[in-house]
Every structure is written in structure tokens, then in C-alpha cells.
Amino acid sequence: MSISGATRVAGVVGRPISHSMSPILHNAWLAAVGLDGVYVPFSVQPGRFVAFVNSLRGGTVAGLNVTLPFKGEALALADETTFRARGAQAANVLVFRDDGTILADNTDGLGMLGAFAEQAPGFDPAAGPVVILGAGGGSRGAAAAFVEAGCGDVRIVNRTLLKAQEIAEPLGATAFALSDAAKAFEGAIAVVNATSAGLSGSPALEAPLEATPQGAVIMDMVYKPLKTPFLAQAEGLGRQTVDGLAMLIGQAVPSFEAFYGQAPPAGVDVRTLALKALGL
Ligand code: NDP
């Protein structure tokens, strides 16, 4: 990669950031397309995020992906926000315009829908009830994306019911306590695990997936391990599954487009690169 005076700079900001897969994905696409651009990680101290982003206004960088713990602050400081970002109450993409304004978007939900399209072709989010487990940032992005995709029956299940209610209410979704998961699973066409249970080293989520219809598609946002205990349980029941790495790559696609003005090139096997970087 050679850096010139005209190199278009974008990146990802978070803390910690060294584990981020995003630089691997974006720089592989940039290299493949031969674009004069670079994508770099920014580790910003808590309390300095807003000053950092404001200092970049006016096109110093083309854009930023935003990850934990700054997604809420990113939404709040933007001049314009997309429906998806407002629905998710969080932004994972900031686009810096030449006039000094910032547009905030959320592509996590698009990434999730892209993962379904890739690994469960034919899945139609508008065809029936979908269930999201968890009520954090991932859940909010997923819920907003399902609503925007035409799903009229989104069910949010969470250990802390109040948090599920807070997400459900503005979206016209329904909230369930985790103890009522079996009820929420009735008739579902998809179940998405957006809890952090099942992350390497943490106990698996206990969910009564046997209460889902045989045709339900089961997805886990967690991608380390790639086959989480939740997905293994779903496979054991004969359900079709979708993994979190496909979502991670899916959210990067519209981000790349927003930063570099073109879609990522086809034919770059970023999944294999990411699996290698994850040691999987
Ligand atoms: P948050 O920390 O915001 O939310 C975590 C949620 O998990 C909370 O609702 C919490 O419940 C619930 N939870 C945690 N542990 C348990 C448990 N043992 N049993 C039941 N519920 C539990 O996380 P995010 O929403 O930001 O992320 C969720 C997961 O999704 C993470 O693993 C993250 O890495 C992944 N993710 C993956 C993406 C991808 O591209 N593949 C994108 C975004 C997220 P409570 O409210 O009761 O505390």
C-alpha cells in the first residue's frame, strides 16, 4: 500500500480497538480495487470522543466506523441521522461532509440482513414474526432493521424486561422476559441472539429453541467462537443457521461505500482473512 498526498482516509474508533476486524476487511478491499485510500484504527480515551470527532469535521477524514463504547455519543453529536441510526439509538458510521456537517448511520442491522441473505437465501424478513434475544446496541440495530424491512411482528426478549420494553415501545415491537422465551418463539421465522452470552469464555445462553418452528432460521451475532453453543443447539435441532461473522462483513460493505464512494470489489475472500485473524 502506498500513501500519497491524495490518500482518502477513513477508520474505526473505539476503545479497546486493537481486536477490530474492520481494518483487515477495508484495507483488503482497498488493495483489491487499487484505490488511493487507507483505513486505520483510532483508540480514543473515554471523555475525549466528542472532541476527537469534532476535530475531524470538514472532510479531514472521509468517515469513521464507531464501536464500543462510543456508538451512543456518535449518534448524539451528528447533525443528521438516518432512520436506522435513530431506531437503533446508536451510530456505527459517521460520514464527514465537506461543509463541516456529520451524517450518522447504523449499518449493523443491514449487516444482519445481509448475513441472512447470504447464509439463508430466500429468507424474507417480512414473512412472519422474528425474535431478538438481548436488549443492547446490537438488539436495537437488529430490531430497527427488521421493522424497516417490513416485519410487522418483532419480539424482543431480554433478561431485564424493562430494557426490552424500552426498545420495543417506539418501534411497535413486543417485549418478553427471558423466562417467557418459549412463548416468543411460537411461530417465529427467525431468532437472533444479540446477547453477549456465548462469547469466548462466557456461559452459553439457555434458550428453548425447540419451541421454534422447524423452518425457523437461527442467528448468533457473536462470532468468536464462530459456531457458538447457541448455533450448535440450533443445528442439533435441524434448524438453518447464520453466523455473526457474516454480519460483521455485511455491516462493513455499506460503510466502505459511504467512505470510498464505491461498493467493495467482488471476489475478495474477506471471510477467510477474518477467520485467519480471529485464529479460527
Ligand atoms: P450489550 O452489552 O449492549 O448488550 C448485551 C445484552 O446481553 C443485554 O441485553 C444483556 O441483558 C444480555 N446478556 C448478557 N449476558 C447474558 C446472559 N448470560 N443471559 C442472558 N442475557 C444476557 O451488547 P451489544 O448489544 O453491543 O452486543 C451483543 C453481542 O452482539 C456482543 O457479543 C457483540 O459482540 C455482538 N455484536 C456483533 C456484531 C456483528 O457484527 N457480528 C455487531 C454488534 C454486536 P441485560 O439487559 O439483562 O443485562
Task: CATH number of the domain at 263, please.
Answer: 3.40.50.10860
CB count, 10 Å around CB of 111?
A: 25
Q: Are residues 173 and 144 in the same domain?
A: yes
* pLDDT, the chain, mean: 95
Instruction: Tell the burial category of 99 from Cβ atoms under 10 Å away from its Cβ (0-12, 13-18, 19+).
Output: exposed
Of 113, 75, 147, the residue nearest 250 (C-alpha)? 113
Percent of the chain with pLDDT over 90: 89
pLDDT value, residue 10: 98
Cα gap 223→231, rounded to integer Å: 10
Nearest CA owner, ligand 1 atom 31: 196
Q: Report how far ligand 1's centroid is from the alpha carbon of 168 (Å).
A: 16
Name the residue of 159, 167, 179, 220 whose CB sits within 8 Å of the most ligand 1 atoms, as the mutation to test its pocket: 159
Question: What's the pLDDT tens digit per position in 46-98?
Answer: 999 999 999 999 988 999 999 989 999 999 999 999 988 998 889 999 999 99
pLDDT value, residue 1: 65
**What range defines the domain where residue 184 resides?**
109-242
pLDDT value, residue 87: 86
Q: Are residues 236 and 252 in the same domain?
A: no
pTM: 0.92
Cα gap 276→267, rounded to integer Å: 17
Q: Are residues 159 and 225 in the same domain?
A: yes
Q: Per the domain annotation, does 207 fall within a domain?
A: yes
Q: Are residues 150 and 197 in the same domain?
A: yes
Instruction: Tell the burial category of 119 from Cβ atoms under 10 Å away from its Cβ (0-12, 13-18, 19+).
Output: middle
Q: Are residues 179 and 253 in the same domain?
A: no
Is 183 among the residues known to form the active site? no
Q: Per the domain annotation, does 115 fall within a domain?
A: yes
Q: Per the domain annotation, does 3 fall within a domain?
A: no
Q: Are residues 120 and 233 in the same domain?
A: yes
Q: Per the domain annotation, does 1 fall within a domain?
A: no
Q: Which atom of ligand 1 is nearest to the CA of 244?
A: 41
Question: What's the pLDDT tens digit per position in 82-139?
Answer: 988 998 889 999 999 999 999 999 999 999 999 999 999 999 999 999 999 999 888 9
pLDDT band at 200 (very low <50, low <70, confident <90, very high): low
Task: Scan for cell 411482528, then name that residue.
Answer: 153
Catalytic residue from among 71, 163, 183, 276:
71
Out of 56-70, 169-183, 198-212, pick the least confident: 198-212
Q: Are residues 129 and 228 in the same domain?
A: yes
pLDDT value, residue 22: 96
Q: Per the domain annotation, does 2 fall within a domain?
A: no
Q: Per the domain annotation, does 190 fall within a domain?
A: yes
Q: Are residues 113 and 202 in the same domain?
A: yes
Q: Are residues 47 and 159 in the same domain?
A: no
Q: Are residues 165 and 62 in the same domain?
A: no
Which CATH number characterizes residue 141's domain? 3.40.50.720
Q: Are residues 234 and 115 in the same domain?
A: yes
Q: Are residues 77 and 126 in the same domain?
A: no
Q: Domain total for the chain?
A: 2
Nearest CA owner, ligand 1 atom 34: 222
Ligand 1 binding site (Cβ under 6 Å of any ligand atom): 108, 111, 134-139, 158-160, 163, 178, 194-197, 199, 203, 205, 221-223, 244, 247-248, 251
